[in-house]
Amino acid sequence: MAQKALVVGASGMLTEVARWLAKQGYEVTVVGRNRGKLEEVRDGSSHPESFTLLALDYHQSDYLREAMEQLVAKQGHIQLVVSWIHQTAPEVLPTIGEVLSRPQKEWNLYHVCGSRAWRNPPVVPEGIGCTYHRIILGFVCGEKESRWLTNGEIAQGVIQAIQAAEPQFIVGSVEPWERRPSY
Ligand SMILES: NC(=O)c1ccc[n+]([C@@H]2O[C@H](COP(=O)([O-])OP(=O)(O)OC[C@H]3O[C@@H](n4cnc5c(N)ncnc54)[C@H](OP(=O)(O)O)[C@@H]3O)[C@@H](O)[C@H]2O)c1
């Protein structure tokens, strides 16, 4: 049976990560608010049949929990989650964890975080019940100027992080911190 993956925030910089997972043989569920954007993620994949689209606002915890319950009931256990979640939604990971860990199931979380996580690592939600992997998005230091990572660099870095399966993986650079680009 195919392995299952969930990509939260899949229709931006994680688009190529979702498509790569499908290519690796995963059944991939992609989450975002805009269904049209999720369709583009699926339709640009070499394995569109491996995709399930979940159009929802992750701030609505009850709705997210219900969607996760239905997904697991339909597909079975989800082994891998890749998430890019804005800080306005701290309940998303505990909500997903509550459903996926039941009853004592194992899963891996690749938690994509902005560069600030280098200085202030986000607290891993208590009792989330997964093997936790933090991915920190850094920046690119040029000779004169620094810049933020492109979507392509981010996707490639996240794929490398999943392959490395380390507790923490840095995409680009986080030091020297003073050379972090201004917004
Ligand atoms: N260190 C770095 O270099 C660095 C770090 C962070 C970001 N960035 C750059 O900044 C750009 C913009 O970042 P971004 O945060 O807009 O990321 P993004 O990856 O472009 O898009 C965010 C993703 O989350 C989904 N999403 C947003 N709010 C949601 C909600 N309430 N419920 C469900 N899904 C939701 C979006 O789909 P919907 O809009 O359809 O909901 C989309 O799939 C990125 O493309 C990246 O290049 C760079």
- Span 3-24, pLDDT tens digits: 999 999 999 999 999 999 999 9
**H or E element, residue 23:** helix 15-23
Query: DSSP code of 82?
Result: E
d(CA 121, CA 113): 9
- The CATH number of the domain where 34 resides is what? 3.40.50.720
Q: Range of 72's domain?
A: 4-179
pLDDT score at 14: 98
Whole-angstrom Cα distance, residue 177 to residue 175? 4
How many angstroms is it from 183 CA to the middle of ligand 1?
15
Alpha-carbon distance values, 105 to 50, 69, 79, 87, 162 (Å): 22, 14, 9, 26, 19
Which residues' Cβ are closer than 6 Å to ligand 1? 9-14, 31-34, 37, 57-59, 84, 86, 114-115, 137-139, 148-149, 151, 154
Report CA(111)–ligand 1 centroid distance (Å).
13
Number of structural domains in the chain = 1
Angle at the Cα of 99 (from 57 to 97), degrees rounded to 5? 80
**Tokens at residue 123, please?**
């607290």
Name the token pair of 178: 């003073």
**Nearest atom of ligand 1 to the alpha carbon of 89:** 31
134 near 113, Cβ under 8 Å? yes
User: Helix, strand, coil proportions of the chain in percent (round to 5)?
Assistant: 35, 25, 40
Minimal-distance CA residue to ligand 1 atom 14:
12
Q: Record the pTM.
A: 0.97
DSSP state of 147: E
- Determine the distance separating the centroid of ligand 1 and the alpha carbon of 12, expressed in angstroms: 5
Q: What is the whole-number distance in angstroms between the Cα of residue 104 and the centre of ligand 1?
A: 31
Helix (H) or strand (E) holding 163: helix 151-164
Residue 74 CA to ligand 1 centre (angstroms): 28
The predicted structure's pLDDT at residue 164: 98
pLDDT by 10s per residue, the chain, length 183: 899 999 999 999 999 999 999 999 999 999 999 999 999 999 999 999 999 999 999 999 999 999 999 999 999 999 999 999 999 999 999 999 999 998 888 999 999 999 999 999 988 877 788 999 999 999 999 888 999 999 999 999 999 999 999 999 999 999 999 999 987
How far is the C-alpha of 20 from the C-alpha of 159, rounded, in Å?
Answer: 8
